[in-house]
Amino acid sequence: MSSWGDDRRSEDARRVHPVVERLSSYGWRIIVLVAVLLGALWLLRQLWVVVLALVVATFISRAVDAPVRWLRGKGAPPALAALGGLLLFLGSISLLVWIIVPRVADEFEALGPTIEDAVDDVERWLVEDAPLDLDEGDLDDLREEARQAVTGAVRSSSSTIVSGAIVAFEVLAGLLLALVATFFFLKDGPRFQSWFLEQVPAPRRALASRLGSRAWATIGGYLRGAALLGLVEGAAIGITLALVGAELAWPVALLTFVAAFVPIVGAVLAGVVAILVALATAELGGAIVVAIVALVVQQLDNDLLAPVVYGRALQMHPLIILFAVVSGGALFGMAGTVLAVPVTAVALNVVAEARREVPVP
């Protein structure tokens, strides 16, 4: 009788499919991992001002790393070399602002109304001349929904970082914190690196050093590539707008340069703005020329320049970039949109470096 009961229990156990049994065994582990991930994202949102300041400090440190190394090579003390690199960065930004802002400030005020006039022209064409059965009321409703969506995104982006009347204070504090952190990153970077490696078990220190070097190189490649591609695209769009007789060439060129730091999405949005400005200030022929130039420049950048400029720093499929930008914006607002691509690139390059086999000497 006992033997028959044991056989019955073993038969019941075999009724569970092996795949189901394996999935159930991993189910609780997946739940724990998801909970940890959600907790980490919640913590990042609560400390977003500090996190953003540290990220900005890392980017500035990477941008002026070469001059600081050169000063140290010439025998400058670490503090003096760090101060020199920081002053070089601030001086470069101040020089650009001094050159560009007076020329662009007045035109930037007209950029919004110009785009709105172009959108009105497009709506009028869709209602009156386009072979589509569209009503003006439907377009007005769609436009209002889009305006509300953009406004809500901006508000949520602001509330993600700060709230209420302390926005200016938090932004100023974040910038000051970023500058202070940049100085210490430049001054004590080697000490930070040595301390970190000491916390890693000895057999894994070589791997940790490789991963850090790969992440550092990825950030540098991203910054150089985005700046160079933005310069090329901004110059091409700005010159084209000027040649077709459109107005606001400087603001659109500057907007195109800044948008290059959000790959794919930024270039598309900047191209749309350039076309709308040309449509409003240079009629349909100028808008068509600007659209063709924007399309050609973006294709040349994506197919020819980007692989050479970025190298392996940004070897990501466009679909990965698109999902990273959308996810970053949904989680952390505008700042998340800008930082999504470099953070994703660093993560993917670090994983690739960790999986790479290195010959043992």
For the stretch 317-347, pLDDT in tens is 778 888 888 888 877 777 788 888 888 888 8
Give the model's pLDDT for residue 337.
Answer: 82
Give the list of residues 6+ apart from residue 162 with CB closer than 8 angstroms, or none. Answer: 49, 170, 171
Give the model's pLDDT for residue 160.
Answer: 47
Are 246 and 114 contacting, i.e. CB atoms less than 8 angstroms apart?
Answer: no
Give the model's pLDDT for residue 251.
Answer: 84
Digit-coded pLDDT (tens) for 288-319: 888 899 888 888 877 777 777 776 667 777 78
Digit-coded pLDDT (tens) for 16-53: 667 777 777 777 788 888 888 888 888 877 787 788 88
Average confidence (pLDDT) over 130-152: 58
Average confidence (pLDDT) over 119-135: 61
Closest by alpha carbon to 183, among 289, 294, 273, 68? 68
Average model confidence (pLDDT) across the chain: 78
Give the list of residues 6+ apart from residue 275 with CB closer than 8 angstroms, or none. Answer: 287, 290, 291, 294
Exposure string of 177-206, with b = 16+ CB inside 10 Å and e = fewer, is bbbebbbebbbebeeeeeeeeeeeeeeeee
DSSP at 164: G
Average confidence (pLDDT) over 97-122: 69
**Packing angle, helices 249-259 and 205-243, rounded to 10:** 160
Give the model's pLDDT for residue 276.
Answer: 84
- Which tokens sit at 345? 């690139």
Task: Name the amino acid, one letter, at 336.
Answer: G
Give the model's pLDDT for residue 50.
Answer: 84
CA 10 vs. chain centroid, Å, equals 56
Signed CA dihedral, 318, 321, 323, 326: sign only: negative
Average confidence (pLDDT) over 244-254: 84
